[in-house]
Amino acid sequence: MDTTLGYLREILSNYSDDHSVGRQIYRKLSEGQFSSEGDFVRQLNQKEINFLNKILPNEINYAKEELDEKRAHELNEVFELLF
C-alpha cells in the first residue's frame, strides 16, 4: 500500500467506530487495490469526500503539532486531491 494511503488508513481507524462514513472509507481503503492516492480519491463518492474534507485539516494540524512533517505532507497530498 502507498505510504500516503497507509497514513490515511491509520487516521480513519480513529473514526471507524462512531462514524459510518469513516468506517465505509476505511473498509474501501483496506479492501481496495489502489496504486496511488489519486486512484483512491477517484473511487470516493461525494459523501466520503465531504467527510475527508472535514477531518483532514484537523489531522494535518495535529501531525504538524507533533512535528511529524512527513505525515502532515502525505495527508495534505490527499486533501489537495479532494478538490
Q: What residue spans define the domains of the chain?
A: 3-81
Cell of 83: 478538490
* Rounded average pLDDT over 65-70: 95
Cα 48 from Cα 3, distance rounded (Å): 20
Torsional class of 33: left (φ above 0), alpha (ψ -120 to 50), beta (otherwise): beta
Q: Tell me which DSSP letter residue 45 carries.
A: -
pLDDT at 12: 92
Dihedral through CA 10, CA 16, CA 20, CA 21, nearest 10? Answer: -10
Task: Tell me the per-residue pLDDT of 1-10, one tens digit each, with 9 for 90 and over.
Answer: 578 899 999 9
Residue of 4, 21, 19, 2 whose CA lies nearest to 71: 4
pTM (predicted TM-score): 0.89
pLDDT level of residue 17 (50, 70, 90 thresholds): confident
* Rounded average pLDDT over 13-39: 87
Task: Tell me the per-residue pLDDT of 39-59, one tens digit each, with 9 for 90 and over.
Answer: 999 999 999 999 999 999 999
